[in-house]
Amino acid sequence: MHQLLLIFSMLFLNSCQTKTTISDMNGQNTVIIEAVEKNQLSVVEAALKKGDNVNTTDKNKRSLLLIATQANNREMAQLLLAHGADVNQQDQIQDSPFLYAGAAGFTELVKLFLANGARFDVFNRYNGTALIPACERGHLDVVNLLANTKGFPIDHINRLGWTALMEAVLLGDGSKRYAAVVQTLIAAGCNINIPDHDGSTALQHARARGYKEIVSLLEKTSKSGL
């Protein structure tokens, strides 16, 4: 009986060690992940000072910074960045902290990530920039920030064949908010004549949808030769 108990104990210990090894190999540290999710700043800070990986990921490959970003938690994001978190690290669906913040309209986080190494050549699952979904959703402050950031690819074309301007027209509702998005893009120097995969321009789509204010903006720009 004693020998059987000893064998079972050894098997149990080996099983635990195997699970720990698998967890470590996957880069998952459930303690610090849960601490970020629960906004336990002191726990996270202590873990990072102890040497925990600031770029560890959960089962969906979300980094700690992406988890904080999705909660619009600027204080946690600042803490993670102070320990070297990567603003461009992507999860299994290609969201990164920077891309997600832009799409969600989290202006302060976008500013923070721009100041901490945000790359403009890392794209989302639609091969798009942070600006394109910001235009789609009418996040004017983010649009204004990114469109006027030096070196940002304002005319980038995503996998659907759409620029930021095209997305604002096609997926917007033609309201004053979307007209302001279009005006911001025009003022920042976007190319209004880039067509979609079918050869139609933003102006043609705006006319077809009856978006009078946007049509007026685009026609004025076209006539001025900008």
Q: Where are the domains of the chain?
A: 26-122, 127-226
Cβ atoms of residues 92 and 61 within 8 Å: yes
* 26-122 to CATH, choices 1.25.40.20, 3.30.70.1250, 3.40.50.2300, 3.40.50.410: 1.25.40.20
Question: Does 26-122 match 127-226 in CATH topology?
Answer: yes
Kindly report the backbone phi and psi dihedral angles of residue 119, in degrees, each rounded to the nearest multiple of 5, phi listed first. Answer: -100, 145
What class is the 127-226 domain? mainly alpha
Q: Which residues of the chain have pLDDT under 70?
A: 1-28, 225-226
**pLDDT score, position 15:** 45
**pLDDT score, position 226:** 52
For tokens 């006539």, the residue is 223
Cβ atoms of residues 180 and 192 within 8 Å: no
d(CA 171, CA 113): 26
Is pTM beyond 0.85? Reply is yes
User: In the 8-state DSSP scheme, what is residue 98?
Assistant: H
Of 71, 87, 84, nearest to 122 (Cα)? 87
**pLDDT score, position 126:** 98
d(CA 70, CA 162): 25
Task: Tell whether the torsion through CA atoms of 90, 91, 96 and 99 is positive or negative.
Answer: positive
